[in-house]
Amino acid sequence: MRTRTEVTKCRRLLEPLDLNLGAIEPNGKLAYPDIPIWKAVRLGCNFAAEYHPTEDGKNVKDCSADIDTRKIGSKLKRILDQTASWYSPSGFGALFRGPVASEWMEPLRQVRLNRVVRDKIGWTWDRVDQSGLERGIEIEKCLQSLGLSDPFAIHGLFPDLDGRTFILLPDSRSCIYQKNIVRLHSTSVRYCNRSPDHRHHFFTRKFVNYTTDLLPANEFFEEVMN
C-alpha cells in the first residue's frame, strides 16, 4: 500500500510522459489488468509502460529499451542522457517517443516473425521477408553490442501474443532473480526458487535521468547504427 503522497508523486512524474500505463502485480512482473491504474498504484502494484499504438494501429506512440548491463559505453550513456532512463535490476531502462520509421520497424518485425513461429494469424515463417530479416538481424546485432542482449529488448514495437508488451517503470520493484519466463517465479511465495539463499532480493527502479522530452525512437536507432 502506498501513501497518498507517494501516489501523487508517481502521478506528477508519469502523467506528463503520456504513456499507456498498466498495472502489474506487486513486487512482480505479471500483468494485472482491469483495474484503474492509480487505484492499483495506491494498492502497492507495480506499473509499466504498455504497448501504445497510434490511433490507426499502424505505428506506436512510444517504445522502450531493456538494457541488461551496467557496463555501458559512451554511445549508450549519451543516449540515456537524452531521454527518460532509469536503473533496472540488471542494467537500465529507457523510453523513446514514436512513431518509428518503417526502415527500423519492418526489419525488426521480420526478426520477430522469424522467432515466434506462430501467432494469432497462423504460422509466421511463411510471412518472413528474407531481405528484411537480414537487415533486422544486423540491427539486432548492433543493439546487442550495446548491451540490449534480450531478443525482444525493444519493448512496445509489437504486441505479444496476449496483446501485451511492457517495461516496468520507476518506482516499481521486483526480485533481481525474476528473469526470462516470468511465470516460473512468484514473489507471492516467500521462497525464491532462483536465488542461492532462497530469499527474494528486491530492487526498486529509480530514474537516472527524468525528462518529458523523450528522445525520438528514430534518432535512437540512428545512433545505434552509426
Cα dihedral 173, 176, 180, 184 in deg (nearest 10):
-90
pLDDT band at 163 (very low <50, low <70, confident <90, very high): low
| pLDDT tens profile 171-200 | 999 999 987 667 788 888 889 998 999 999
pLDDT band at 140 (very low <50, low <70, confident <90, very high): very high
C-beta atoms surrounding 173 within 10 Å: 18
Give residue for cell 514495437: 157
Stretch 119-138: mean pLDDT:
75
Q: Tell me the pTM.
A: 0.91
Interatomic CA distance for residues 155 and 95, integer angstroms:
9
Between 103 and 115, the higher pLDDT residue: 103
138 pLDDT higher than 90: yes
Q: How much of the chain exceeds pLDDT 90, in percent?
A: 73
| φ, ψ (nearest 5 deg) of residue 117 | 75, -50
Interatomic CA distance for residues 94 and 56, integer angstroms:
25
Which stretch of 11-20, 73-82, 147-156, 196-205 has the lowest confidence by average pLDDT? 147-156
